C-alpha cells in the first residue's frame, strides 16, 4: 500500500479532544488505502515545562539527561494517539525513536538524523498494522542514548521518515492553514499560496517565516519530498493547505512569492579597523568559533588605511559577538576603536524564484521604501531574494508597502 506521513504539532495535540480530532484525520487517510506514519510533537507547552524542570534541577545540566527528560513529552502523545486510533478500530502502534530506530549523531540536544531503517515498521505493516505513531524530535545515538533534534525537530523527523519510506507525501498539520505571502497579522491582504517551491520556502523559513523549520525544508528539497502545510482546525480536502514542491511542479507564479520579516536582528559595526588583506577572516573567524550567526556584511570605503566593518546577527547573540571581538582584539589579531551595536533594526526581505528571470526587483523594492520615507541601512541579495535592514519602527509599514507593490494580494 502507498505510505503517507502525517505530522501533528503541539497545538494540534494539545488536549485529548484535539488528539481525537487528529486521529479522525488519520482515519480518513487509512480509509483511502494508505498505510500511515504519524509523527507527533509533545502536547503544547509540555516541552517548555520539561526544560524548566531540568534547568531548575541542574543549571549546568548533563545534555544526555536533558534529552532523556525532554523527549518524554513526545512519548506521551504517541501513546495517547495510538490508544485513540485503537478505540476507532484502526490498527495502530506507538513507536519511540529507539524502537524504529532513528539513528542520529551523538550531539545531544541538537542531533542530526543519519539513518532510519524501514524494516521494523514495514514488517508490522505487513502484519496488519495500518498506523505507526512515531514520537518526533528524538532518536538514538551510536552509544545507545536517547537524543533530541533541537527546535522544530518533529518537522525534520516527519520529512526524514517520508524520504526513508518513499512516502507519497508528507502532510504537516499545524495551527495555520498554509503558507502565506506574508504574515497575516501584519498585512490583512496576505494571501494563502496554493504552491510554493522548496527554494522559496527555504528562504522564507530562514528569513523569519515560522511555518516550517529550516532543516525540514532542506531535507525535503534534497530528497524531493512533497510537503503539504495545512491546519488541524480547518475542514480537510485534497486542495487544502499549501504544497511545497519542485519548481517544475509550479506552472506559473508571481515574480515575488512572499515578503518575510525578522524583528530579532541587530546591526554591529567595528569602527576603524585596518584595511588589509585577511582582515575579514580575522574578524569573522572568532565570530564563527563563538557560534555567532552572521548574515549581512558591509565594508565601508577605506580612508587612510582604516575602514568600518558592519554586519548583522540575531539580537540574542550580540553579547557573544562583543565578547569574541574583544578577545580577538586583546590577542592582537584585530584592532578597532569601538564596537557599536544597534538592536533597534529589523530585516525585511522579498523572495521569489521569478527573480531569476526578471529585472528591476531590487530597484522597485528600494523605490517603494524610499516613497515611504524608510531609510535602508544594509542590503544583501541572492539569486531569489533581496533583504534590507531598516529601523524596527518601520517594519510593518515596509511589509505592507512591499506586499502591495508586488501585487501579492492577487493570484498569479
Does the annotation flag 74 for ligand binding?
yes
Does the annotation flag 53 for ligand binding?
no
Q: Is the dihedral of CA 149, 50, 208, 193 positive or negative?
A: positive
Does the annotation flag 264 for ligand binding?
no
Does the annotation flag 242 for ligand binding?
no
Does the annotation flag 66 for ligand binding?
no
**CA pair distance 1, 32, nearest whole angstrom:** 10
Does the annotation flag 125 for ligand binding?
no
Q: Helix (H) and strand (E) counts for the chain?
A: 12, 18
Does the annotation flag 210 for ligand binding?
yes
**CA pair distance 93, 371, nearest whole angstrom:** 59
Does the annotation flag 175 for ligand binding?
yes
**CA pair distance 335, 338, nearest whole angstrom:** 9
Q: Which of 330, 328, 269, 277 is nearest to 305 (CA)?
A: 277
- For 244-282, b where at least 16 C-beta lie within 10 A, e where not — what string? bbeeeebeebbbbbbbbbbeebbbbbbebbebeeebeee
Q: Which grid coordinates belong to 371?
A: 516613497
Does the annotation flag 238 for ligand binding?
no
Residue with cell 506507538: 94
**CA pair distance 318, 312, nearest whole angstrom:** 9
Does the annotation flag 151 for ligand binding?
no
Positions at the binding site for substrate: 47, 74
Residue ranges of the annotated binding site for ATP are 7-10, 174-175, 180, 185, 210-211
- Per the annotation, where are the binding residues? 7-10, 47, 74, 174-175, 180, 185, 210-211
Amino acid at each position: 500500500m502507498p505510505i503517507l506521513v502525517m505530522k501533528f504539532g503541539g497545538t494540534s495535540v494539545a488536549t485529548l479532544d484535539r488528539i481525537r480530532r487528529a486521529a479522525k484525520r488519520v482515519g480518513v487517510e487509512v480509509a483511502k488505502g494508505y498505510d500511515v506514519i504519524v509523527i507527533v510533537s509533545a502536547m503544547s507547552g509540555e516541552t517548555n515545562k520539561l526544560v524548566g524542570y531540568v534547568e531548575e534541577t541542574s543549571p549546568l545540566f548533563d545534555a544526555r539527561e536533558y534529552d532523556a527528560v525532554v523527549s518524554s513529552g513526545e512519548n506521551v502523545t504517541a501513546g495517547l494517539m495510538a490508544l485513540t486510533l485503537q478505540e476507532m478500530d484502526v490498527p495502530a502502534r506507538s513507536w519511540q525513536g529507539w524502537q524504529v530506530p532513528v539513528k542520529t549523531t551523538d550531539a545531544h540536544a541538537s542531533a542530526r538524523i543519519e539513518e532510519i531503517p524501514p524494516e521494523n515498521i514495514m514488517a508490522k505493516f505487513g502484519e496488519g498494522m495500518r498506523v505507526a505513531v512515531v514520537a518526533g524530535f528524538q532518536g538514538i545515538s551510536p552509544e545507545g542514548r536517547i537524543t533530541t533534534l533541537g527546535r522544530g525537530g518533529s518537522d525534520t523527523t516527519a520529512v526524514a521518515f517520508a524520504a526513508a519510506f518513499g512516502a507519497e507525501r508528507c502532510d504537516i498539520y499545524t495551527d495555520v492553514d498554509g503558507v502565506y505571502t506574508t504574515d497575516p497579522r501584519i498585512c490583512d491582504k496576505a494571501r494563502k499560496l496554493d504552491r510554493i517551491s522548496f527554494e522559496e520556502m527555504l528562504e522564507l523559513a530562514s528569513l523569519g517565516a515560522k511555518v516550517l523549520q529550516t532543516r525540514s525544508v532542506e531535507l525535503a528539497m534534497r530528497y524531493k519530498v512533497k510537503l503539504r502545510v495545512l491546519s488541524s482546525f480547518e475542514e480537510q480536502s485534497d486542495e487544502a493547505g499549501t504544497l511545497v514542491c519542485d519548481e517544475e511542479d509550479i506552472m506559473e507564479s508571481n515574480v515575488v512569492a512572499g515578503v518575510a520579516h525578522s524583528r530579532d536582528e541587530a546591526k554591529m559595526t567595528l569602527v576603524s579597523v585596518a584595511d588589509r588583506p585577511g582582515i575579514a577572516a580575522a574578524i569573522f573567524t572568532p565570530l564563527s568559533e563563538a557560534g555567532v550567526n552572521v548574515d549581512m556584511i558591509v565594508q565601508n570605503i577605506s580612508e587612510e588605511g582604516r575602514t568600518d566593518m558592519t554586519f548583522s546577527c540575531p539580537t540574542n547573540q550580540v553579547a557573544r559577538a562583543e565578547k569574541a571581538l574583544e578577545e580577538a582584539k586583546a590577542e592582537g589579531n584585530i584592532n578597532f576603536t569601538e564596537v557599536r551595536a544597534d538592536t533597534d533594526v529589523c530585516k525585511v526581505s522579498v523572495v521569489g524564484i521569478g527573480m531569476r528571470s526578471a529585472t528591476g526587483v531590487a530597484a522597485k523594492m528600494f523605490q517603494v521604501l524610499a516613497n515611504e520615507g524608510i531609510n535602508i541601512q544594509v542590503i544583501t541579495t541572492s539569486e531569489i531574494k533581496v533583504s534590507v535592514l531598516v529601523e524596527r519602527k518601520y517594519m510593518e509599514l515596509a511589509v505592507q508597502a512591499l506586499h502591495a507593490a508586488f501585487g501579492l494580494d492577487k493570484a498569479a
